Structures are given as C-alpha cells and as structure tokens.
Amino acid sequence: MPTVGFLSPNSEVAARDWTTAFVQRLHDLGWIEGRTVQIEYRWEDGKVERSSEFVNELLRLKVDVIVTHGVPNIVGAINATSTVPIVFPLATDPVGSGFVASLARPGGNVTGLSILSRDLAGKRMELLGELLPGLHELAVIGDSSAFLEIKEVQAVATSANLALNVVNVGKAGEIAPAIEKLKGRVDALYVCATPFANTNRYEINAAALAAGLPTMHGFREGVDAGAVMSYGPNFPDLFRRAAHFVDKILRGGKPADIPVEQPTKFDLVINLKTAKALGLNVSPTVLARADQVIE
C-alpha cells in the first residue's frame, strides 16, 4: 500500500476543511484511506520550527510522496530529499522562491499549485479601498514567510499614496500587543495569507476588533473567524486539485513533468456582523460583488 505524507503547518482543526477536500478527492480517484492508500499526518500547530523534524520523520517512514505547504515546510522537504516527490497544494511564488524551474516544466521532484498571493495583493487593497473610501493609512501584518506578499503590498501602497505600517510577528503571543499599538494610528489591517495567519486567525481578528480595525484576509476561513473581508483562491479547491497531482505520481508520473497549476476559483467573502460591530456601512456595490455574505 502506498503511503502519502501529509505535513501541515496548521493545527488539525484549522486545516480540517482543506484536509477533508484532499482526502475526499483522493477517494474519488480510487485512493481510499486505510484500504488502498495510507496517509501519515503531521500537524505543526503553527510551530514551523518543527518542520525539519517532521519531514525527516516522514522520510524514515519511506513515504511515496510528501504533500505540504508553507515556505519552511516546502524548503525543508526540498533540502531533505531530491528523490521523494513533493506536492505543494499552495505556494505564494513557486518560481520566485526557487521551488521549481518554471510553471510549465518544474524540473526536479517538486510540483503543485500557486496561489498568486503577490498578484492578488493589489486586488485586496482595491477592495479595502471600496469598503473604506477614506482609507489613508494601512497596516500589514505577517510572519517571516510573508516577505514576498509584504513586498507586493508595499509596492501597491506606494503607487496608491497610502501610508503603510509593516508589523512583523512570529509568535501567537506577539499578535495582540502588536495590533493594540495600531489603535488610532491606521484605518485597516491587511493580514498576509500564511499558515501562521490561518492558525492564529481568531487571535488576529479578536485583537483587531478590540482595536476597531477592519481586517482583510487572503482566505475565507479568516472571515469565518471574524474578519470583515477576504479575497483569494478557494483553498479547499486547491487541496482537491492537489489530490490529482498525488494520483498522477502514485500511478508513475514524475513531478518534473507535471506543470504547476494556478487558481481558477476565487472568493470574495464579507462578514456583515463584524462590519456592523465596527460601525461600517458596506455599500450595495461591494455586497453585489461578494460570493458569500455572512450575516
């Protein structure tokens, strides 16, 4: 029975919808967990420093493919093996990060799906501007793995004449104090789409609400956790598509020959309950563009 190593930088609870989508699609393709395929799960709970430990653990189990995401995990897996196939269900900039040679021909033992986070930064800031016509000062919060997205946000802010406050956090305990310092200084908070942000989305949104700051996330789970708005790829869809990569590899395909794919499904989600709590009036124009509105 082939074995898939599934390494998540999130907690099991935080990644539940994505994992379920992946496993269900594998099932649809004939790979039934416990019967025709074994899946070894490892959860980092946001502690990315455990990346190498878990990667090596999976390699000792002689897994046939490693499925993982988050820069530290992908880099850790690439550094640990040049032979075991690696599939990333999502990566911010796989070419720019050096994970693959090109989208069309990845080369090596790595392939997967890009989430276009850098390209989407401008769209998210545009939507924030529509939500907050008086937006002049913005804060962006992210951990070390968000450096590419932060760079893109800085470029967009400069071209839009927005004052930008960059907030770097690396531990859950740093979130609330960092956001509290923004109170009264900025108009909104842009949250980078990283595993750290997903794992700590409740803490981020609670602190932002307490500081009176509307938040923009890169994935809809952030809105489910209390953010005002999110715009980005549909992550469960990306994990479903990642199952196809695993299917091809388990049937003899080589990662080097499997092109990296890009998102096809994007969601704009708005939380009217949070908007009301912050005293925001969401225009009918913005609401009409939303794929889902949480009331």
Q: Are 205 and 227 in contact (CB under 8 A)?
A: yes
241 and 218 both lie in a single domain: no
Residue 223's alpha-carbon distances to 54, 77, 130, 220, 286, in angstroms, are 30, 31, 17, 5, 15
Measured CA to CA, the distance from residue 88 to residue 77 in angstroms comes to 10
Identify residue 231 by its one-letter amino acid code.
Y
What's the number of domains the chain is made of? Answer: 2
Amino acid letter at 65? V
Domain match, 167 and 108 both: no
Considering the domain architecture, whether residues 226 and 238 belong to the same structural domain is answered as no
- 103-132: per-residue pLDDT in tens? 999 999 999 999 876 678 899 999 999 999
179 and 290 both lie in a single domain: yes
CA 67 and chain centroid, separation: 15
Q: Does residue 281 sit in the same domain as residue 259?
A: no
Cα distances (Å, whole numbers) of residue 276 to 140, 202, 207, 279: 22, 18, 17, 5
194: domain CATH number is 3.40.50.2300
- Report residue 4: phi and psi, to 5°: -105, 125
> Same structural domain for residues 173 and 35?
no
- Residue 117's pLDDT is 64
pTM for the model: 0.83
Segments of the chain scoring below 50 in pLDDT: none
Q: Is 134 found in the same domain as 11?
A: no
Alpha helices (H) along 92-214: 117-131, 147-159, 172-180, 195-199, 201-210
Phi, psi for residue 18 in degrees, rounded to 5: -70, -45
Distances (CA, A) of 31 to 58, 254, 271: 19, 18, 37
Beta strands 292-294 and 266-271, pairing class: parallel
In terms of Cα–Cα distance, which of 50, 53, 63 is closest to 5? Answer: 63
Q: How far is CA 41 from CA 4, 8, 33, 61, in A?
A: 8, 8, 12, 12
**DSSP-assigned letters across all residues of 29-51:** TT--BTTTBEEEEEE-TT-GGGH
pLDDT for the residue 145: 80
d(CA 200, CA 191): 11
- The verdict on 196 and 141 lying in the same domain is yes
pLDDT (tens digit per residue) in 40-61: 999 998 788 899 999 999 999 9
Question: Do 151 and 278 lie in a common domain?
Answer: yes
- Which residues span the domain enclosing 277? 117-232+267-294
Q: Are 58 and 111 within one domain?
A: yes
pLDDT at 71: 86
The 10s digit of each residue's pLDDT in 203-237 is 999 999 999 999 999 988 899 999 999 999 999 99
* 127/244 same-domain check: no
Tokens found for residue 193:
């789409």
By DSSP bridging, strand 163-168 and strand 188-191 are: unpaired
Q: Is there a single domain that holds both residue 69 and residue 189?
A: no
Neighbours of 54 (CB within 10 A): 24
